[in-house]
Structure 1
Amino acid sequence: MSSPFTVRRIVAASACLLAIGACSSGRSDRAADTAAVAPGISDSANASSAVTGAMASMHRDTIAPRVQAHLARLDTSDPDSLVALVATDRQVVTTLIADCERMMREMKMEPPREWRNAVQALRQDLDRMGSMSGAQLRQLVPDHRKRIEGMLTMRRDMMRM
């Protein structure tokens, strides 16, 4: 029976091979890549790898629920409360942008034009929002929300890659 250290080394090596395969392969069928790269690994090692991958996905996915909760607050807040939420909005949006940029760097992905335009529009929103009244913020929220939702959609698409 293999020691836990050996299993960890096998799992780590498999993860490296999978990452290299994912970056260099144009295929979108990652399950087939996994089977092709590591045919000799035991079921327990595959299970460990699956748990590790699931944990990483859950960790990365904590941002989306926070953004969704923030969007719900924006929708239900009165104009005066929106003024108080501007700093929180800045933090949520910049965290979302930074996370997406980190994901693109890790995937060695060039940010597409659509992404750059979305980031620019959101940063313009953030710049303007600090000096807006509650009524002005209430008018901006629907468009601002659409831009944030668009970014979440792009993020979900990246996570599926």
Structure 2
Amino acid sequence: MSLAQRIPEVLKDFREKRLSGLRPVADFFDHRQLSRPRDLNDATQRITYNTRHFSGNYLLVILVLALYALLTNPLLLIAIAIFAGGFAAINKFGSDPVEVGNAVITQKTLYIALFVIGLPILFFASPIGVFFWLVGSSSILIIGHAVLMEPGLESEYSGVESV
């Protein structure tokens, strides 16, 4: 099964497993549950509970930040498009060697040319900086939200088994 055929299946699986855990926006932004933790132990318990409780929402926050990072860095978008388009074109059209004059252009030659063109563009797009910005900004937002949100009443009964 090719990658193009698996994309709808992967998206459906992602939607069923990850996005089914999304909490309502009113719960996620409920300002009545905002408070400062009493101590480090309380903060740790809040982080533990809220990262499980709001995991779908936090994943959505990370995806939105990643989309923002890509849209505000057009050179990175161009580099990704060059690599994705180049790989797709080489896999589709470049499987057979082509003779141009005395030179034979193979799939290996096309990949080398793609990297010679794409890597300098990717270098100037600074993907490592974008990655660390994404990690830092999402960590600050998620940990800040998880620390400040008081767990709901259902957290008090999470250890109790029902009969």
Per the TM superposition, whether the score is higher than 0.5 is no
Q: Which has the higher contact order (CA 8 A, sep 6+)?
A: 2
TM-score scaled by length of structure 2: 0.25
TM-score with structure 1 setting the length: 0.26
Greater helix share, structure number: 1
